[in-house]
Amino acid sequence: MARKKKEPEKSKAKINTDNIMGLVGSTTEQAISETLEINYMPYAMSVIVSRAIPEIDGFKPSHRKLLYTMYKMGLLNGGRTKSANIVGQTMRLNPHGDAAIYETMVRLARGNETLLHPFVDSKGNFGKVYSRDMAYAASRYTEAKLESFCNELFRDIDSDTVDMVDNYDATMKEPSLLPTTFPNVLVSANQGIAVGMASNICSFNLKEVCDTTIALMNNPDHDILSTLPGPDFSTGAELLFDETTTRDIYSTGRGSFKLRAKWNYVKGDNVIEITEIPYSTTSEAVMDKVAELIKAGKIKEIADMRDETDLGGLKLTIDLKRGVEPEKLMQKLFRMTPLQDSFPCNFNILIAGMPRVMGIGEILEEWTAWRTDCVKRRLFFQIQKKEDRLHLLKGLERILLDIDKAIRIIRETELENEVVPNLMIGFGIDEIQANYVAEIKLRNINKEYILKQTKAIDDLEKEIADLQDTLNSHRKLKNVIIKELQQVSEKYGKPRKTEIIYETAEIQMDDEDEQIPDYPVTVFVSKEGYLKKITPQSLRMSGEQKFKEGDSLSFSRETSNKAELLVFTSLCQCYKTRLSDFEDGKASQLGDYLPQKLGMDPGETVLQVLLPGDYKGFVLFFFENGKGAKVPLSAYETKTNRRRLTAAFSDKSPLVSAMVIDEDRQVVLYSSDNRAAIVSTAQLTPKTTRNTIGVAVMSLKKKAQLSAVRPLEESGITNASRYRNKTIPTAGAIIKEEDSQEKQISFDV
């Protein structure tokens, strides 16, 4: 019996298989190019145009459908409703499933903190943009309505400002765009991945965008960077400003901004608190990366790290081990974790159904043209409405001039459907006017009513003339848009959340000290700027130092591989580097060319190199005009480790010598007219400003100039009292023959 029952099932399966095989066998061959054109291209264009790329109003279709549904539900001025109710209603316009619709609403909500100016007033758990694991609650648990800010999205939407199109099943109408009164496309962050292209638009501060738009409308040559210094993100953090990069992004629409976290050090608890992170990362990603580095032994300064985020906002707390420098640790974390990250920009926007990558100026120009069209349509709609009203009142006016005749016509008309035609014949008015008159209540046929209607005619004619004048005037249309932008800026503008850091154009993160091998080296620098770093073993085995033809030794010093080097140049700049950045060399090599290695400006040459040590002493500068300056070395110590310092010393006179001193000493100044003077550095008062012009140290005769400066013990002078003076400036004395022998031919500082 069991076998007999199974046989029909096998037969049925065989029949189905045969049917399927028959269908497969009926397929025909098709060229791949034809498949791409017929099947793939329509899909690709649908994704590009109808899903992933935002349009000039700043919205994708999913955003627009959701917000318009909430608007039609009365949620702009009414109370909140369950999110599930909103999602269900939105499916009348967007049939892509409730999960996708709800996720869209989450990202537009205030609670999620994705946008600087959220569109949805949310209640309940909507997750956080800076958290990967903090999931939002289901739609049945949360409530929402539209923010008052959305008034600027839907203003005059019922005044034919935008086209209304059929929804997917042609049962209702929806707007093709929302008539935003401000450039929302730049204010709201937007990301989308289409087929073969993507869009990634960062958010900018509303007030700055409005000010920039107004400025460009008044002056097309306006410098955008002066009113729009950089993007502004809802998560705050710090923007590392680079003018060249920013201008390039503003002009091309492509590039990336560098962001880093905001932090503070709590000295009493010996902890670092991170309160804002880059928009492009999450707190979990940061925690995971730090844990990975600690496990790998690459970071040893952290005792513990925990996420203390609460209702007050984001907070990541790092417990430090004893003796750890917070600034130094944060530099490592910026380099090795997402606490410093980049936001890639790709300003790809649909313009008239075609994707275009545009710069800021071009986007605002397109938005202004589109907004001008919206205002024109609104004005034309208002004119039409007023002209329709005026047309009715004109007919009423003709009847009110002889109201008795109108009453008599109505009373003498036998059939109701003949009242309107008789009024049309009796007063020479059209059917619309006659219908309007026929509907007037008997109580309104009085002198007061007649005077009011007559006056309304005059007012309407004046209003229509004003509207028509605005519609025909480019200047007045521009003023209307500017006035609306000013109102939006004043009402909804907020201070920047993302702080702009201007002095970090060239940031070099510190390498870990324990990863830099420390060993003794001797550094040699030639007059033309070639540097060689040689180990003692290599130096003992090497022969004569090799230099380029016409070049010679300018500086040599025994030091360590971890030592820092200050390089002063002909453009009054100071470059800061580490000897560990240079490869160990040999005496037979020319060495590294400092202007190229340090990225100096064209024509910039090396004047002097110094080893600052622990930055505890002073730098002595001496200039050709006989002046000298004493500047604390701490003035060249930078927390951010910038590679280049501008205005490093005075540019009023050419630099003759620079030397580092730990304590005051005596130096010999030589002039070009064969005179010498011995002065004590104690006579120079320290100046806190790096580019101070200094004080007069040596009095020079006409056409004479300071030519060299040496430490007294290296000068070869035997009769020091002859050249010494207790006060400055001093003229010094003529150099005697026994004191003219130079025992040191290079500066040794």
**Taking Cα atoms as reference points, which of 28, 190, 22, 15 lies closest to residue 116?**
190
**Taking Cα atoms as reference points, which of 224, 227, 213 lies closest to residue 482?**
213
CA 545 to centroid of chain Cα atoms: 51
Report the SS3 class of residue 315.
coil
Cis bond before residue 520 (omega within 30° of 0): no
User: Average pLDDT of the chain?
Assistant: 87
Write down the pLDDT at residue 641: 58
The confidence band for 413, taking pLDDT boundaries of 50, 70 and 90, is confident
Asked if 102 is an active-site residue, the reply is no
* 504-518, 604-618, 722-736: the lowest-pLDDT one: 504-518
Domain range 60-176, its CATH number among 3.20.20.480, 3.90.199.10, 1.10.3210.10, 3.40.50.2030: 3.90.199.10
Write down the pLDDT at residue 69: 96
Is residue 279 within 8 Å of 345, Cβ to Cβ? Answer: no
* 16-25, 97-106, 109-118, 249-258: the lowest-pLDDT one: 16-25
Say whether domain 513-739 belongs to CATH 1.20.1440.120: no
Is residue 656 within 8 Å of 521, Cβ to Cβ? Answer: no
Write down the pLDDT at residue 642: 63
Write down the pLDDT at residue 97: 87
Radius of gyration in angstroms for the set of CA atoms belonging to the chain, rounded to a whole number: 40
Kindly state the average pLDDT of the residues 587-593: 87
What dihedral angle (degrees, nearest 10) is formed by the CA atoms of 726, 728, 731, 735? 50
Which one of the listed residues 40, 43, 141, 168 is annotated catalytic?
141
Please list the residue range(s) of the chain that carry CATH number 1.10.268.10: 376-492
C-alpha span between 92 and 458 (Å, rounded) = 46
**Taking Cα atoms as reference points, which of 113, 90, 112 lies closest to residue 101?**
90
Say whether domain 376-492 belongs to CATH 1.10.268.10: yes
User: Would you say residue 1 has pLDDT above 50?
Assistant: no
**Taking Cα atoms as reference points, which of 48, 135, 62 lies closest to residue 96?**
62
What dihedral angle (degrees, nearest 10) is formed by the CA atoms of 356, 360, 366, 367? 120
Retrieve residue 690's tokens: 């790096």
The confidence band for 395, taking pLDDT boundaries of 50, 70 and 90, is confident
Helices (H) and strands (E) in the chain, counts: 21, 33
Q: Is 534 exposed, middle or buried (0-12, 13-18, 19+ CB in 10 A)?
A: buried
Residue 668, beta-bridge partner list = 678, 710
User: Would you say residue 17 has pLDDT above 50?
Assistant: no
**Taking Cα atoms as reference points, which of 354, 265, 276 lies closest to residue 301?**
265
Retrieve residue 143's tokens: 């409530």
Write down the pLDDT at residue 6: 43
**Taking Cα atoms as reference points, which of 85, 147, 144 lies closest to residue 118?**
147
C-alpha span between 379 and 476 (Å, rounded) = 12
Encoded amino acid at 269, one letter: D
The confidence band for 12, taking pLDDT boundaries of 50, 70 and 90, is very low
Write down the pLDDT at residue 640: 59
Is residue 419 within 8 Å of 408, Cβ to Cβ? Answer: no
User: Would you say residue 744 has pLDDT above 60?
Assistant: no
Q: What is the pLDDT of residues 111-159, one digit of tens each?
A: 999 999 999 999 999 999 999 999 999 999 999 999 999 999 999 999 9
Cis bond before residue 61 (omega within 30° of 0): no
Q: What is the pLDDT of residues 490-538, one digit of tens each?
A: 999 999 999 999 875 344 444 445 556 678 899 999 988 999 998 888 8
User: Would you say residue 20 has pLDDT above 80?
Assistant: no
Please list the residue range(s) of the chain that carry CATH number 2.120.10.90: 513-739
Q: What is the largest CA-CA distance in the chain?
A: 142
Higher-pLDDT residue of 356 and 411 is 356
Say whether domain 262-338 belongs to CATH 3.40.50.2300: no
Please list the residue range(s) of the chain that carry CATH number 3.90.199.10: 60-176
Kindly state the average pLDDT of the residues 36-49: 82
Kindly state the average pLDDT of the residues 442-447: 76
For the chain, the straight-line distance linking the first and the last C-alpha, in angstroms and rounded, comes to 109
pTM: 0.66
Higher-pLDDT residue of 142 and 430 is 142
Is residue 120 within 8 Å of 141, Cβ to Cβ? Answer: no
Write down the pLDDT at residue 724: 85
C-alpha span between 510 and 581 (Å, rounded) = 11
* 177-186, 329-338, 713-722: the lowest-pLDDT one: 713-722
